[in-house]
């Protein structure tokens, strides 16, 4: 049993037709339900729900404050390699892009880690391109051991791997895993992932579940908006998070809402998620999943991020660099363009001014 079975239930389901027929009444009812079912959630993703956005935002805020308080978890990403054996047509690191490739040596990782640690933030996410050959598990373990000297919570966003491999990394000190399905629509998935291991849709879909089984404490998933139909992608992302949190009770799940921006390779998104739709998706996630983390990266602009904080965001990256070696001597191309270019200190100060407590540390190495 995997999330694949849930997806199969919706094969042939006519989302467009259903969403068009959702009424204001159905939306209003969903907003104030104590526990939303799948269709309530889908109703909140309908065009009609846009008429109820303020009400959705208020409810989302209320639920978030009860569950998370006036706090926001902070983390910083560190890019340790941009070598990639996959060809994702939307990504700056795609193997087809003729960019300078770089993999940090372990001493370079240490230099970057020291620099990042000065921010006082104890949560770090380390990322590589998807190349198991150039950044094998052994390298990831070595990187983890260095990072654990400076940070209490280490997460990875690398290539999908087996449960046993995740268990090895967990033992070395990795507690968090980020893996995006990118797009739940199989046909589009096939179109945008033309070669490399990433062509395997099902293996990727079952990745979060292998991570949970291996003992990861926190797993972040999501759809990369801009590829598939917006409402159904959001719907499946939410269902995936719901499926996982019902099945792996001991693990905390999070959702990100990345939308395609101007990465190298100049990919033109098929569907544009505008700000209104972004907020609609975010609120729908919160109403459907009261305890899920909602993560907003520096892909989004500073002022937009600030507004999302007041609604239902619970996790921010702060002062991010998306180039390999970006904190000390940025040389390579970024994976995606950053829209919020403020320093970590500026981000933290604004969070406090807005009446929220920035959380620098949310786990103790034990």
Partner 1 sequence: MDVLKLGDREFSSRLLSGTGKFRDKNEIKEVLDKSGSQIITVALRRVNLENPTDNILNYIPKHITLLPNTSGARDANEAVRIARIAKESGCGNFVKIEVICDAKYLMPDNEETLKATKILAKEGFVVLPYIMPDIIICKKLEDAGASAVMPLGSPIGSNAGLQTKSILEMVIENSNLPVIVDAGIGRPSHACDAMEMGADGVLINTAIATASNPAKMAEAFSLAIKAGRAAHLLKLQEESRYANASSPLTGFLNL
Is 294 within 8 Å of 313 (Cβ atoms)? yes
Please state the closest distance from residue 259 (CB atom) to partner 1, in A. Answer: 27
Q: For residue 295, list its beta bridge partners.
A: 256, 315
Q: Which is nearer to partner 1, 100 or 349 (CB)?
A: 349
Q: Which is nearer to partner 1, 125 or 338 (CB)?
A: 125
Please state the closest distance from residue 274 (CB atom) to partner 1, in A. Answer: 30
Q: Which is nearer to partner 1, 253 or 336 (CB)?
A: 253
Max CA pair span of the chain = 60
Annotate 289-324 with DSSP letters as a single string. Answer: -TT-EEEE-TTS-HHHHHHHHTTT--EEE-S---SB
Q: Which is nearer to partner 1, 140 or 244 (CB)?
A: 244
Q: Which is nearer to partner 1, 165 or 293 (CB)?
A: 293
C-beta atoms surrounding 298 within 10 Å: 24
Annotate 54-65 with DSSP letters as a single string. Answer: HHHHHHHHHHHH
Interatomic CA distance for residues 269 and 258, integer angstroms: 12
Distances (CA, A) of 177 to 15, 170, 220: 30, 10, 6
Please state the closest distance from residue 355 (CB atom) to partner 1, in A. Answer: 5
Give the interface with partner 1 as residue ranges (CB under 8 A).
Answer: 65-71, 120, 122, 217, 245-246, 249-253, 291, 352, 355-364, 366
Q: Which is nearer to partner 1, 138 or 366 (CB)?
A: 366
Please state the closest distance from residue 170 (CB atom) to partner 1, in A. Answer: 12
Look at residues 276, 299, 308 and name the one whose alpha carbon lies nearest to residue 91: 299
Q: Which two tokens stand for residue 338?
A: 């950053």
Please state the closest distance from residue 277 (CB atom) to partner 1, in A. Answer: 27
Please state the closest distance from residue 151 (CB atom) to partner 1, in A. Answer: 11
């Amino acid at each position: 049993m995997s999330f694949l079975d849930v997806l199969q239930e919706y094969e042939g389901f006519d989302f467009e037709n259903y969403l068009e027929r959702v009424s204001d009444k159905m939306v209003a009812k969903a907003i104030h339900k104590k526990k939303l079912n799948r269709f309530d959630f889908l109703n909140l993703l309908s065009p009609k729900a846009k008429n109820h956005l303020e009400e959705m935002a208020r409810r989302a805020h209320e639920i978030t404050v009860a569950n998370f308080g006036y706090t926001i978890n902070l983390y910083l990403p560190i890019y340790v390699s941009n070598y990639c054996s996959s060809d994702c047509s939307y990504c700056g690191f795609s193997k087809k892009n003729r960019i300078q490739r770089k993999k940090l040596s372990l001493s370079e990782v240490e230099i970057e880690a020291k620099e990042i640690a000065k921010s006082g933030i104890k949560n770090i996410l380390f990322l590589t391109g998807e190349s198991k050959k150039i950044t094998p598990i052994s390298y990831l373990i070595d990187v983890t051991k260095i990072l654990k000297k400076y940070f209490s919570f280490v997460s990875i966003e690398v290539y999908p791997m087996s449960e046993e491999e995740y268990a090895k990394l967990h033992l070395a000190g990795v507690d968090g895993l980020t893996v995006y399905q990118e797009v739940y629509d199989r046909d589009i998935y096939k179109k945008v992932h033309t070669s490399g291991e990433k062509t395997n849709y099902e293996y990727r879909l079952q990745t979060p579940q292998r991570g949970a089984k291996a003992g990861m404490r926190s797993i972040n998933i999501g759809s990369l908006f801009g590829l598939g139909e917006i409402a159904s992608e959001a719907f499946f992302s939410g269902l995936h998070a719901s499926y996982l949190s019902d099945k792996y009770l001991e693990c905390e799940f999070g959702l990100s809402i990345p939308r395609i921006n101007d990465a190298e390779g100049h990919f033109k998104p098929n569907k544009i998620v505008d700000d209104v739709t972004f907020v609609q998706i975010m609120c729908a996630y919160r109403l459907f999943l009261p305890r899920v983390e909602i993560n907003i990266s520096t892909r989004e602009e500073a002022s937009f991020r600030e507004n999302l904080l007041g609604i239902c965001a619970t996790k921010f990256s702060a002062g991010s660099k998306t180039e390999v070696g970006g904190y000390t001597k940025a040389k390579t191309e970024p994976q995606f363009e950053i829209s919020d270019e403020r320093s970590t200190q500026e981000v933290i100060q604004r969070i406090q001014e807005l009446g929220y407590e920035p959380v620098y540390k949310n786990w103790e190495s034990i």
